[in-house]
Amino acid sequence: MDILNATTPNGLAETYLIDSIVKGKYEHGKILPAERELAEHIGVTRTTLREVTGRMGRDGWLTIRHGRPTRVNDIKNTLSLTALNSLCYLDEANSSSYIKDILDLRCSVAPLYISSALVESREGAIQVLGLAVRASELMSTSFDEFRLKSELFEDYKASVEYGQVLVSRLEESENIALSAAWLDFWVYQQLAHLASNKIYGLVVNSLKPTYMDVLSGLYQSAENIHNLRAHHRTVLKSLKNGKTAEVLESFDRFGAKTMKLWNRAA
């Protein structure tokens, strides 16, 4: 972990503190140096440091109590999912393991909320996959001159909430790999929100930064983008035919393939 790669004062402070905690410089149960001393050591303002430690307190790295010193937590028992992205990219020794576990979690949990989504709103699921298929068809596969044919989205851009969100995100994407990553994540996210248990949606939301980083790397390959398109078409066809088992099998195969691709690239 190289704190010199941090591009902002907040990033510098957060990287330094997480690095120090992960590597045991600041052991759990120990008290951090005084705010003024620590800010000067890192090279940031006290206001910046206070913002960073406040966020780290919410994520579970630190215990912060008014009028008392800031204490380092036993992070194994206190970190929340919001800290996962930091762990993946700042804890270099275990980052590959974290990412593998995240993809494995998607394979394990997705069938639960997808099954529920199909019971709660099969039509909603058909709408989600229909938009995903349409979006993938409108994306150029050229890496040299990536363009989204945004004018072709207009026929449904304002028709439904799903379309509005999907189009705005795709139009903001800088390249086809990022667009494909967003499309992949978005389908899982929307199906999770259709499930009866709304906690699934919150869990998927919290994993978004890590998913996007991992998936945008995988979708540098045109072959993987074609696989994503084929997967969405297959799922949509099964949904329209009322074949729930085939839908779940398709997601299972796709998840396993994503895991295999990651293992190959890691």
Q: Which long-range contacts (CB under 8 A, 24 or more apart) does 7-11 make?
A: 9/44, 9/45, 9/48, 10/44, 10/48, 10/51, 10/52
Per-residue pLDDT tens for 227-259? 998 999 999 999 999 999 999 999 999 999 988
Per-residue pLDDT tens for 13-61? 998 999 899 888 999 999 999 999 999 999 999 999 999 999 999 999 9
> Tokens for 51?
């913002």
CB 191 within 8 A of CB 125: yes
| 245 residue type, one letter | A
Per-residue pLDDT tens for 73-100? 999 899 888 888 788 777 777 778 888 8
Q: What's the predicted TM-score (pTM) here?
A: 0.79
